[in-house]
Amino acid sequence: MAAVVRLLRRYPLVALTLLVGVVGGTLELAGAGGAARWVVSLFAVGVAAQQARGMLADLRAGTYGIDILAVTAIGSTVAVGEYWAALVVCLMLAGGEALEDHAAGRARRELTALLARAPQTAHLVTGDGGTRDVPVAAVVAGQELLVKPGEVVPVDAVLLSAAATVDESSLTGEPLPVEHRRGAALLSGSVNGPDALHVRATAAAADSQYQRILDLVRAAEESRAPFVRLADRVAVPFTLGALALAALAWAASGDPVRFAEVLVVATPCPLLIATPVAFLAGMSRAAKNGVIVKDGGTLERLARVRTAAFDKTGTLTHGHPRLAAVHPADGVRDPELLTLAAAVEQYSAHPLAQAVVAAARARHLPVPPARDAEEVTAAGVRATVGGRRVVVGGAGFVADQAGGVADVGVEPGQTLVHVAVDGRYAGALALADEVRADAAATVADLRRAGVRRTLMLTGDAAPTARHVAAAVGIEDVRAGLLPQDKVAVVRAVPERPVLMVGDGVNDAPVLAAADVGIAMGARGSTAASESADVVILRDDLHRTVRAVRVGRRTMRVAWQAIGIGVGLSVGLMVLAAAGFLPAIVGAGLQEVVDLACILWALRAARPGRGETAGPAGPAVQGPGRRERVDAEPLPVAS
Ligand code: ADP
Ligand code: MG
């Protein structure tokens, strides 16, 4: 009972409509039929007038309101004395809003779950070893924090405690808790396990990945535009058809009641409610899979993708290259070359740079500080080390400074990082990156999902690029590209929409230029996740296929819901035109139609039949697939 009262209070128009119904009914029973007619009719006309005002505002804003049918239905039923049917139509209009709220709430459940978790306070570890609670927004990088059992990690941080078990499921969709050791990076938004943890913040809340995700989720929740467009394509013909059929029924029967009877079953609430519900449900389902889709329009484009373009380093490959060989120039020794390269590369976030630094550390070589470090995106880094000008990077970049680079033979799949010192060529480091085990399956499954053309866009040299492309089954390779060249290639692709998958390191421009930009991994650069339309929260390339599948299913379900609503409605209209459907019965049946197609639209939140989670079918689903990925990396340099 209390729940009913709460509902009525939240939706006053529903309450008012019911009240008018009770008053009218009482008058009718008391034998005052005329008064009942007046009360109910006046109320219905009032509701219609209010709707008409909203409709005019819609028209002025350039969107077609399809509530014109509802307004005409109320007007005509009142005019022919079917005022009870008019009241039912009013109830449907008022209830539609309540129904939409409820269905949308269910559809966006997963999205809301992410928002609800956002922590408000953090426990700052003070000098005396105690803690003090501060607002999350006040945390700065470098501060030590305590995360209590079951709490959400408030900002990106490194683990100071020996070990931690955290649940990253709301970020990555990975259901199993993840183990981390001291020094590991913890993602903000993951939920701590049973032990209290000490961590050191590596970013303020506003710069933490979780904040980016929350921003994306908020954008996803608020996006509405494409819903309207989809329904509008059907709305105009539907409205005109309904009015024409109603007029025809009137003309043929000579009875204006027929006109009202047809329009009562023509109110196309499904078009207004079912599509947004389907889109929200689709975005919610994607979020559950660790894929944040920025808006409904993206989902629609995902469903139609024709071309898929991939970045190489960090996207098709793991992006954790290791040093395979050192090729010093004459008069230079291996350790010296590596030390100088690492000294410069420590200032770069590029995967190759990190690999060079890691290799120097692994060999216990010193990594001296450098001055005036300057990175040229997708080319290399320059800096001064102990008074010497050191340049590290791709062949073209280093050749510009050193007048040329040595033509050392590399094994297929290896990438060369060249080094010049004081304007003279000093040698090259060969780095080998492993192709992701599921890269080939991802490309194949995207083809199966309707992608016609695949491209690789890379800043790396052509031989390396061709080798990786052959290993994963990509036909068209463009190598040696700068970020602006990647943009130009994507713009020129004729088969659209174009999907671009990048790992986030210097890929922000091309992700923005593509019709659907997918940024891989919540650890990628924040600039990339801002310019992308989709962010995959896990370092899992195959989720691109899931994103496309969710898009396709959402569109299918949305169109089905529209089909069911319009189909049933047209069937009822024909019955009404033939005189088999009294207005009051029709008005009631229309409510059933609305409910049916909203329930259908909610199906977009669930996986379709035959949809599998992992690449290449059920045999490699779930945790088993992960083991396969970890246990059998596919070396490029083989
Ligand atoms: P991709 O498009 O495959 O992700 P990038 O555009 O990030 O590659 O880099 C392209 C090329 O630029 C690399 O293959 C490398 O030769 C060079 N390069 C860029 N930054 C660096 C760096 N910090 N250290 C060494 N080489 C670099
Ligand atoms: Mg890259």
Mean pLDDT for 308-337 is 92
Q: Round to whole Å and give the CA distance between 240 and 559.
A: 20
Tell me which of 45 and 636 has the higher pLDDT.
45
Distance 104 CA to ligand 1 centre (A): 45
The band of 614, judged by pLDDT with boundaries at 50, 70 and 90, is: very low
CB of 394 sitting under 6 A from ligand 1: yes
Nearest protein CA to atom 14 of ligand 1, as residue: 460
Tell me which of 3 and 387 has the higher pLDDT.
387
Q: What is the DSSP string of 556-620?
A: HHHHHHHHHHHHHHHHHHHHHHTT-S-HHHHHHHHHHHHHHHHHHHGGGGSPPTT--SSTTSGGG
pTM: 0.79
Distance 629 CA to ligand 2 centre (A): 21
CB of 458 sitting under 6 A from ligand 1: yes
The count of other CB atoms within 10 Å of the CB of residue 380 is 28
Query: Which is nearest to 637 in space by CA: 407, 471, 393?
Result: 471
Q: What is the mean pLDDT of the chain?
A: 85
Task: Return the amino acid letter for 206.
Answer: A
**Residue 419: nearest ligand to its CA?**
1
Q: Are 531 and 512 in contact (CB under 8 A)?
A: yes
Q: Residue 433 pLDDT more than 60?
A: yes
CB of 430 sitting under 6 A from ligand 1: no
Distance 513 CA to ligand 1 centre (A): 20
Closest ligand 1 atom to residue 315 Cα is 4
Helix or strand run (H / E) with residue 360: helix 351-362
Mean pLDDT for 562-590 is 93
Closest ligand 1 atom to residue 483 Cα is 6
Per-residue confidence (pLDDT) for residue 175, from 0 to 100: 65
Distance 159 CA to ligand 2 centre (A): 27
Superfamily of 322-432 according to CATH: Calcium-transporting ATPase, cytoplasmic domain N (3.40.1110.10)
Q: Round to whole Å and give the CA distance between 131 and 143.
A: 12
Per-residue confidence (pLDDT) for residue 526, from 0 to 100: 57
Identify the residue whose tokens are 């209010």. 50
**Residue 352: nearest ligand to its CA?**
1
Ligand 1 pocket, mutate which of 316, 317, 338, 350 (most atoms under 8 A from CB): 350
Q: Residue 251 pLDDT more than 80?
A: yes
Closest ligand 1 atom to residue 503 Cα is 4
Catalytic residues: 311
The band of 624, judged by pLDDT with boundaries at 50, 70 and 90, is: very low
Beginning with the edge strand found earlier in the chain, give each strand of the sheet holding 121-125 in spatial order: 131-135, 121-125, 144-147, 197-201, 157-159, 185-186
Tell me which of 509 and 551 has the higher pLDDT.
551
CB of 417 sitting under 6 A from ligand 1: yes
**Residue 485: nearest ligand to its CA?**
1
CB of 321 sitting under 6 A from ligand 1: no
Q: Round to whole Å and give the CA distance between 270 and 325.
A: 64
CB of 381 sitting under 6 A from ligand 1: yes
Sign of CA dihedral 87, 89, 90, 91: positive
Residue 184, both tokens? 């590991």
Query: Which is nearest to 83 in space by CA: 263, 260, 265, 266?
Result: 260
CB of 353 sitting under 6 A from ligand 1: yes
Per-residue confidence (pLDDT) for residue 253, from 0 to 100: 95
Q: Residue 131 pLDDT more than 60?
A: yes
| Domain spans in the chain, listed from the N-terminal domain onward | 118-218, 322-432
**Residue 374: nearest ligand to its CA?**
1
First vs last Cα of the chain: how many Å apart? 71
Mean pLDDT for 579-597 is 90
Q: Residue 301 pLDDT more than 50?
A: yes
- Work out the percent of the chain whose per-residue pLDDT is above 70: 87
Q: Round to whole Å and give the CA distance between 432 and 320.
A: 9
Ligand 1 pocket, mutate which of 460, 490, 505, 525 (most atoms under 8 A from CB): 460
Per-residue confidence (pLDDT) for residue 358, from 0 to 100: 93
Range with the poorest average pLDDT among 80-84, 276-280, 339-343, 457-461: 276-280
Mean pLDDT for 54-63 is 66
Query: Which is nearest to 260 in space by CA: 271, 249, 252, 272?
Result: 249
Q: Residue 623 pLDDT more than 50?
A: no
Distance 319 CA to ligand 1 centre (A): 11
The band of 577, judged by pLDDT with boundaries at 50, 70 and 90, is: very high
Q: What is the DSSP string of 5-34?
A: HHHHHH-HHHHHHHHHHHHHHHHHHTT-HH
Mean pLDDT for 55-62 is 67
Fold entry, domain 118-218:
2.70.150
Residue 547, both tokens? 């994103």
Q: Round to whole Å and give the CA distance between 364 and 342.
A: 12
176-190, 265-279, 597-611 — most confident range = 176-190
CB of 506 sitting under 6 A from ligand 1: yes
Tell me which of 11 and 231 has the higher pLDDT.
11
Distance 430 CA to ligand 2 centre (A): 17
Tell me the H-state helices in 409-456.
Answer: 439-448
